[in-house]
Structure 1
Amino acid sequence: MTYLLLENQKDMLALRAAAGPSGKEACINRSCQAIYMDLGATRWEAAPESVGQGWFYRSYARRGIDMDRLLLWEAKPVSPPSAIFAELPKELLHRYQYFNIPAITDYSDASHAVRMLKSIAQPADFVAFKLDIDNVVAENAILSSLSGDATAAALVDEFFMEYHVSFAPMMPWWAGGEDPNKKLADAYKLFLQLRQQGWRAHSWV
């Protein structure tokens, strides 16, 4: 995780000021928020070889960004359901929405994550969006909905994606789940495009 340079409070506040009308509150009817959306969220504290939601929360907190809302999707059933909250600090429960269902790819569905983002976020909010559901078709569909919608794209500040391409060092983990038509060069091209679009876009593994 040491190679990731995450957003910090100073830069977030500068972006927030730029997003708000001159001399007016940056957000309407409420204080501006920091929002974390995670598609492929696993658990608050993941297994030793993985990274859980808690890592993101703590990492942003160390950089002065306290997440006000956390919306999380995980397709793998958690049993018992109470285990979802077992490691979550109790003081964060009111900020936490965990959907133990697959992320929807049909944009006409009201529960699509991008539609939910547009319904809750404002331009001056800080939004971090992670996409790692280990299904290349679904990931590409969700990314297309997110980056291809100008209103939704403008809401995203920081973005993480495990882009499954044909890349030999990752085959032990990605075998069968990668896009055989995409190479490492395609990954560089994608993340360059996303950064040029204005996102702090990170390759996630």
Structure 2
Amino acid sequence: METNKYNLTYFMAVNGCTRESVASCETGSFRLRPTGRRLFYDLGCSRYRDSGEISISGGYGSSLPLFQRLYARNCIEFDAMWGWEAQKFDRDEWMRPVPAHVRAKLTFHNEPVTDENVFRTLRSTARPDDFVVMKVDIDSPALEKRLVSTLASTPELVDLVDELYFEYHLHVPDHRKATSEHTTPDTIVEALQLMQRLRAAGVRSHFWV
């Protein structure tokens, strides 16, 4: 396969096919709790277009079906999903390509992400015994960092989120061109420090593109 920044062949999500999953957190004792649900929160979901591809990231297409396939490959089926997209769509048109079995468990918010609406939804729908995956990719660097920093510093939220994917806008030319804000990106050191805080708190955290 051609090498590019969207290559997901290295991807290692939580594996639900075995009794225990290897964790990236300090304790190394992460487990999928049998009593909990499997939940996915997609911040920046774009359209729903299922290409059937699982080797390249959402930069090439829709992230909702991509994450469904990636986790299904590891024996994890999401019981419920929430998606946010700021670009306005006709709701019926957006939902048309969504399979019926997915539509039944998908809540689509066709509105911009804010600190309030995301964390309010998370607190009202997730429980500590659920397995929660969150993807943050809304091309708004200041808001994205504020959301993830709030998560890292709030024990209540850390207890809810198990795995995080974050498109961190670093000091890289390609990333600056893709953003909607003219802000100075963080350095690689600052990015690693924030990800380390999340991992030390027990959130499996991954950079996303």
TM-score normalised per structure 1: 0.81
1:126 is aligned to 131
Q: Name segments (4+ residues, structure 1) moved above 6 Å.
A: none
1:135 is aligned to 140
Cα drift, residue 150 of structure 1? 0.7
- Select the structure with the greater relative contact order (CA < 8 A; seq sep ≥ 6): 2
2:64 is aligned to 53
CA distance in 1, matches of 2:103, 2:172: 39
Cα drift, residue 146 of structure 1? 2.0
Q: Which amino acid aligns with 1:124?
A: D
Matched, 1:3 2:10: yes
Encode CA deviations 1:120-164: one digit per residue, 9 max, x unaligned.
111111000111111112112222332222111111111011111
Task: Calculate percent identity across the aligned residue pairs.
Answer: 28
Matched, 1:76 2:87: yes
Encode CA deviations 1:34-74: one digit per residue, 9 max, x unaligned.
00001111122279823431010111111100100001110
1:23 is aligned to none
Contact 1:163 1:187 (C-alpha < 8 Å) held by counterparts = yes
Cα drift, residue 180 of structure 1? 1.4
User: Of the candidates 142, 161, 164, which is equivalent to residue 159 of structure 1?
Assistant: 164
Contact 1:114 1:145 (C-alpha < 8 Å) held by counterparts = no
Q: Could you tell me which runs of 5 or more consecutive residues in structure 2 were left unpaired when the two chains were aligned.
A: 1-7, 22-29, 51-57
CA distance in 1, matches of 2:187, 2:172: 6
2:3 is aligned to none
Cα drift, residue 172 of structure 1? 4.0
2:194 is aligned to 190
Q: Which amino acid aligns with 2:10?
A: Y
- In terms of fraction of residues, the more helix-rich structure is 1
2:152 is aligned to 147
